[in-house]
Amino acid sequence: MRSVFLYTAARLAIFVATAGVLALFGARGFLLLLLALLISGVVSFVLLSGQRDRMSAAVAGGIGERRRRFHEARTKEDA
């Protein structure tokens, strides 16, 4: 779960930094948000690929564990 929070925090930090730079260059309002979303998305895709892979593995592992526990409980209930 820690990797999910780290990835989310990194994405948010990149978005805020991008919005700050764009604001310095004069972007305002809806244009600022749109450009910040697009640019930070591309930057995050490139810079956070390793972190995204770790987060994906953690989420998939958590789902697998919950499924395993569900099947164990269901099997135990049927017996």
**Total domains, the chain:** 1
Q: Is 36 exposed, middle or buried (0-12, 13-18, 19+ CB in 10 A)?
A: buried
pLDDT surpasses 90 at 66: no
pLDDT surpasses 80 at 25: yes
pTM: 0.76
Dihedral sign (CA 51, 53, 57, 62): positive
Mean of per-residue pLDDT scores for the chain:
90
Per-residue model confidence as pLDDT tens digits over 33-57: 999 999 999 999 999 999 999 998 9
Question: Which residue range is the domain that position 11 belongs to?
Answer: 2-78
